Amino acid sequence: MQRYDKYTDSQLAGLLKKGDRDAFTAIYERFFGVLYIHAFNRLKNKDEAKDAIQDLFIRLWNKRDSVDFTNLSNYLYTAVRNAVMNVISHKAVESKYISALPQSIVIADCITDHRLRERQLSEIISKEIELLPPKMREVFQLSRFHNLSHKEIAEQLGISEQSVRSHVKNALKILRVRLGLVLYLVLLISR
């Protein structure tokens, strides 16, 4: 992944068109922050801004071979502007629909929906953790699920504390990239 940091936007766009997943990840890491701020400034809602950006990147990956990336940053800013407009118009329709429903139905639906999403999310996180390399997975699980300190994990596994730190850091980085898109898909599918 290191070598992608040095590529220009045009080079990354070219690699993305060829289906290069690492180039996509590099584009995601390069642009997510600024696009999120741009979306948040318009929507004033963290979750909606994140959802809009995640949706943008899902569409970017799905349409990578048919999109003209003459200027990647312009394409992404235009796409996020359109995504924000879609969120705003969707909220207006949703608000109109919800205000027409009896309040008890809306509350019951929200609780059921929340429990379903929570269960789906838990299953997805577990599956993604299982896909981590064995040693990284073991260190991550001891750290996060058994609440062991880095020192305790190092002693238990006979490795250095620095190795433990590296495993945890790398696991979080992998999960952040994988789950960022996956979580959005779960939310999108369950709507």
In terms of pTM, does the model score above 0.75?
Answer: no
Alpha-carbon gap, residue 104 to 148, rounded angstroms? 44
Average the pLDDT over each of 131-135, 154-158, 165-169, 171-175 and give the range with the smallest value.
171-175
Query: Which of 100, 127, 148 is the endpoint of a domain?
Result: 100
Is 144 found in the same domain as 81? Answer: no
Alpha-carbon gap, residue 20 to 23, rounded angstroms? 5
Is 177 found in the same domain as 146? Answer: yes
Alpha-carbon gap, residue 38 to 33, rounded angstroms? 9
Is 32 found in the same domain as 13? Answer: yes
Is 117 found in the same domain as 94? Answer: no
Residue-range definition of the domain harbouring residue 37: 1-100
Q: What is the 3-state secondary structure (H, E, C) of 36-79?
A: HHHHHHHHCCHHHHHHHHHHHHHHHHHCCCCCCCCCHHHHHHHH
DSSP state letter for 1:
-
Mean pLDDT for the stretch of residues 123-127: 79
Is 115 found in the same domain as 135? Answer: yes
